[in-house]
Amino acid sequence: MRHVAIGRRRQRGWAGIVMLLLALVVVGVVVRSMVKQMGLADDSPGVAVTRDAAAAPRSDTTQGAAPASQGSATDRARAVQEQVLRQGARADEQLKAGDR
């Protein structure tokens, strides 16, 4: 009887580790699906955006307009960044022209 109790005590530790790993897998799957749902990750793996393609101006955006909602979240964020940089440069030029 004593050997059975020792064996069960050792098994409890392994069972706890297995349960923690299972919980970690479940949390990982839930987080992955939420990230995909929010549009922060693409479904197609291995898609790389070159720096030249990211820096190229988009033809469907106009001056002062918000970027189109098409494309991945990364493309939309880059378009917003480009727009903010253009507006900042324009404001900087206006300030410098006003100081003269």
User: Is there a single domain that holds both residue 5 and residue 36?
Assistant: yes
Phi-psi label, residue 72: left if phi above 0, alpha if psi -120 to 50, beta otherwise: beta
CA distance linking residue 24 with residue 9, whole number of Å: 23
**pLDDT recorded at residue 30:** 95
Q: Would the pLDDT of 79 be above 70? A: yes
User: Is there a single domain that holds both residue 58 and residue 18?
Assistant: no
Q: Is 82 exposed, middle or buried (0-12, 13-18, 19+ CB in 10 A)?
A: middle
Task: Please indicate, yes or no, whether the overall pTM of this predicted structure exceeds 0.75.
Answer: no
User: Is there a single domain that holds both residue 7 and residue 36?
Assistant: yes
More confident residue, 81 or 38: 81
User: Is there a single domain that holds both residue 18 and residue 58?
Assistant: no
Contact yes or no for 93/84 (Cβ under 8 A): no
Query: What tens digit of pLDDT does each residue of 28-67 get?
Result: 999 999 988 887 876 665 555 555 555 555 555 555 555 5
Number of compact structural domains in the chain: 2
User: Is there a single domain that holds both residue 67 and residue 93?
Assistant: yes
Domain limits at 69?
A: 44-100
